[in-house]
Amino acid sequence: MSDIIQLLPDHVANQIAAGEVVQRPSSVVKELLENAIDAGANSIKLLLKDAGKTLIQVIDDGKGMSTTDARLCFERHATSKIQKAEDLFNLNTKGFRGEALASIAAIAHVALKTKEDSDELGSEIKIEGSKIVSQEFVATATGTSLAVKNLFYNIPARRNFLKSDTIETRHIIDEFQRVALAHPGISFLLHHNNNEVYNLRASNLRKRIVAIFGSKMNEKLVPIEEKTDLITIQGFITKPEFAKKKRGEQFFFVNERFIKSSYLNHAVVNAFDGLLEHSSHPSYFLYLSVPPSSIDINIHPTKTEIKFDNEKALYAILRATIKHSLGQYNVAPVLDFNRDANLDVPYKFNGKTGTSTPKITVDPDFNPFKEEVHKEQKKPYYKEKTTESWESLYTHIEVESKESNQETLFVGDSQKETGKTIQIQRKYILSAIKSGVVLISQSYAHQRILYEDFLESITVKEANSQQLLFPVNIQLISSEIEIIYSLKNELENAGFSFGEFTKTNVIIKGIPVSVTESQITVILEELIRDIDLEVPDASFSHFDLMAKSFSKTLAIKTGSILSEVEQENLVNDLFSCKEPSISPFGKSTFKTLTLKEIDIIFNK
């Protein structure tokens, strides 16, 4: 039997390794930015073309490399950070495995220019698919410039899996923000297709956060600071009133490295207990410093997951620190042990002289709701506040609830009453049909109606637009402006009309007729969040995405009271849809219950 196991050629092995390190253009950006930081750079420039598919170039003013190091850095497992395995548990730098540059060079055209300060000339190396094309001496500035062109040129299948430029740009900006937030003392510049997206000067942490996320962020921030033997915590959380319905700006950094940790996130959310609305998420920028030997950052190829030695202790410290800051800055109530207890409990008022509390007299027979109660023929919830009648508070509520349910849920047996609608718990609509009843989710049903209306307006009809008397100025962060600008044509087809775009502002001159002025910001912010869902880049995807996003934002919410006419219109519009049975997000819009199924329920 012949041998079938063989060693892979180096170029194939490098391409396979690249699959772990380089998943998309943002992976390259992350590795190159971290290399620049490890090189001691004070200024870093990131230049992009076509969301990094055509060009990713990082230019730094770090210490540069010698001619030998410039050649050797593209070899697999070539690193200056590790000499023995134990060094993995005492790391203070970003890159350490020596895989990044070798993996990138295997799947792109790479041009490296680098020079040390002590040298007169630097080195230039050009590589295509792991093969060195040329190496020569050149005049260049101290530091390193590394350009990655035509990513995945030799792996077309991988290139085809990349998403649209809008989505890939969003991923790059996410990585750029994480690195820039971790190092506020370094200046960063980001250009995309010759447009300046960010120009961040070296500053302190608060100024860096505001520079990235806009001036409005400044008023939202609450400082966090704590130092213990196990951990040092610094950074900011946002005030509870600025919490978002979806996870917004949530950043953990451990030893200046961005990480993801659902465990620590739970500690933060737990510290806000009682201060947040249901399903709201706080924003935070938290910087943890721990001994390098107490963590393992080598458990994931992207190095965004970390294993801690003392997770439970860190959880408790983080939670307590945030609670303390919320109280210290009067964001949450705290116990004040220096407060005179007599001010809270008036026990010592007995026998005291001086100003007495004014007496309040009331007419016990006066009832301001008497006329309204008479009209509705309902009993009052209570008559007088006595200990003997406390049970009646619950008795009357129960009686009224029963009466209310009878009125709400009654559906006649006559065929003449087919089509009658009744709203249940401000959430569902019950409608009588010949075969039984149909129960409709008012929110999901309205999503389906709006979705098809928007989709038809965008793709088939010429969308109607209402011009605003006074144009609206919407303030967003640079990355969000970039997304809106990339969708400008599609949004105009939907009925929006735009004025000037700047780095942090966009002027809205007109909106779709179904949208109100107060909904503009909500719709655009929701659309930006939905971009992060990574809808595939198809000719129809942006239209479909916008229609879904608009329908979700504008649909009737649970808790909305609908008149009888509104209920009937909703039912009629739903069953006029092409796909009435499911919402744009795959949820059932209605369920039917036949008379036979109802009989079975009561005759089991």
HSE toward the beta carbon, residue 116, CA cutoff 13 A: 8
pLDDT at 375: 42
pLDDT reading at 374 higher than 70: no
What was the pLDDT predicted at 503?
A: 80
User: What does the H/E/C string look like for 203-254?
Assistant: CCHHHHHHHHHCHHHHHHEEEEEEECCCCEEEEEEECHHHCECCCCCEEEEE
174-194, pLDDT tens digit by residue?
999 999 999 999 999 999 999
Between 455 and 132, where is the model more confident? 132
Q: Which residues contact 576 (CB under 8 A, 6 or more apart)?
A: none
Confidence of residue 15 (pLDDT cuts 50, 70, 90): low
Q: What is the pLDDT of residue 356?
A: 47
Mean predicted confidence (pLDDT) in 521-536: 70
In a 3-state reduction of DSSP, which class is residue 446? helix
Above 80 in pLDDT, residue 65?
Answer: yes
Detail the DSSP E strand segments found in 152-201.
187-192, 195-200
For 83-106, what is each residue's pLDDT tens digit? 455 545 455 565 544 578 888 988
| Selection from 99-103, 106-110, 376-380, 399-403 with the highest mean pLDDT | 106-110
Q: 431 versus 59: which is more confidently predicted?
A: 59
Question: Of the ranges 89-93, 165-169, 296-300, which one carries the lowest mean pLDDT score?
Answer: 89-93
Residue 57, pLDDT above cutoff 80: yes
Mean pLDDT, rounded, for 485-504: 84
Q: What average pLDDT score do residues 230-256 get?
A: 88
Residue whose tokens read 């962060």? 477
Q: What is the pLDDT of residue 601?
A: 85
Would you state the pLDDT for residue 28?
93
> In the structure encoding, which two tokens stand for residue 305, read together?
């997951």
pLDDT of residue 161: 85
Identify the weakest region by mean pLDDT among 9-18, 204-213, 393-402: 393-402
Amino acid identity of residue 266, one-letter, is: H
Alpha-carbon torsion (471, 477, 482, 484), positive or negative: negative
Q: What is the pLDDT of residue 98?
A: 53
Identity of the amino acid at 247: R
For the ranges 38-52, 246-260, 399-413, 457-471, the one whose mean pLDDT is highest: 38-52
Residue 29 predicted with pLDDT over 50: yes
Mean pLDDT of 469-481: 85
Mean pLDDT, range 579-601, rounded to an integer = 87
- What's phi and psi for 505, nearest 5 deg? -140, 150
- 47 contacts 30 by C-beta, under 8 angstroms: no
65/142 Cα distance (integer angstroms): 9
Degrees (nearest 5) of the Cα angle 456, 462, 465? 105
For residue 493, the model assigns a pLDDT of 78
pLDDT of residue 414: 42
User: What top-level class would CATH report for the domain 206-328?
Assistant: alpha beta
Q: How confident is the model at residue 460 (pLDDT cuts 50, 70, 90)?
A: low
Q: Does position 62 have pLDDT exceeding 80, yes or no?
A: yes
Give the separation between CA 271 and CA 242, rounded to whole angstroms: 15
pLDDT at 17: 59
**How far, in Å, CA of 91 to CA of 391, rounded?**
67
Q: Report the candidate in 527, 546, 516, 518 with the shortest Cα–Cα distance to residue 480.
A: 527
CATH 3.30.1370.100 positions along the chain are 412-604
Q: Is the pLDDT of residue 337 over 50?
A: no
Contact 22, 104 (CB under 8 A): yes
Q: What pTM, to 2 d.p., does this model score?
A: 0.62
Mean pLDDT within 224-239? 92
Statement: 10-200 belongs to CATH 3.30.565.10? yes
Q: φ and ψ at 79, to 5 degrees?
A: -150, 150
Which CATH number does the domain 412-604 belong to among 3.40.367.20, 3.40.50.300, 3.40.630.180, 3.30.1370.100? 3.30.1370.100
Give the pLDDT of residue 594. Answer: 87
Averaged pLDDT, 10-18: 63
Q: Which of 298-302, 362-366, 452-456 has the highest mean pLDDT?
A: 452-456
Domain with CATH 3.30.230.10 in the chain: 206-328
Nearest to 186 by CA among 60, 321, 51, 358: 60
Residue 110's pLDDT is 95
Q: What is the pLDDT of residue 418?
A: 52
- Mean pLDDT across the stretch 555-576? 88
The share of the chain scoring above pLDDT 70, in percent, equals 74
Q: Give Cβ neighbours of residue 66 (< 8 Å, ≥ 6 apart).
A: 116, 119, 123
Question: How confident is the prediction for the chain on average, in pLDDT?
Answer: 78
Residues 6+ apart with CB under 8 A from 74: 101, 102, 105, 110, 125, 127, 130, 132
For residue 532, pLDDT over 70 is answered with no
User: Does 47 score more than 90 pLDDT?
Assistant: yes
Higher pLDDT among residues 545 and 94, named by residue: 545
Q: Which amino acid would we find at residue 13?
A: A
Residues of the chain with CATH 3.30.565.10: 10-200
| pLDDT for res 528 | 81
Residue 386 clears pLDDT 80, i.e. is over it: no
* Mean pLDDT calculated for residue range 50-61: 95
What is residue 92's predicted lDDT score, i.e. its pLDDT?
A: 56
**DSSP code of 278?**
T
pLDDT above 80 for 78: no
pLDDT recorded at residue 46: 97
Dist. CA 458–CA 44, nearest whole Å: 42
pLDDT score, position 154: 87
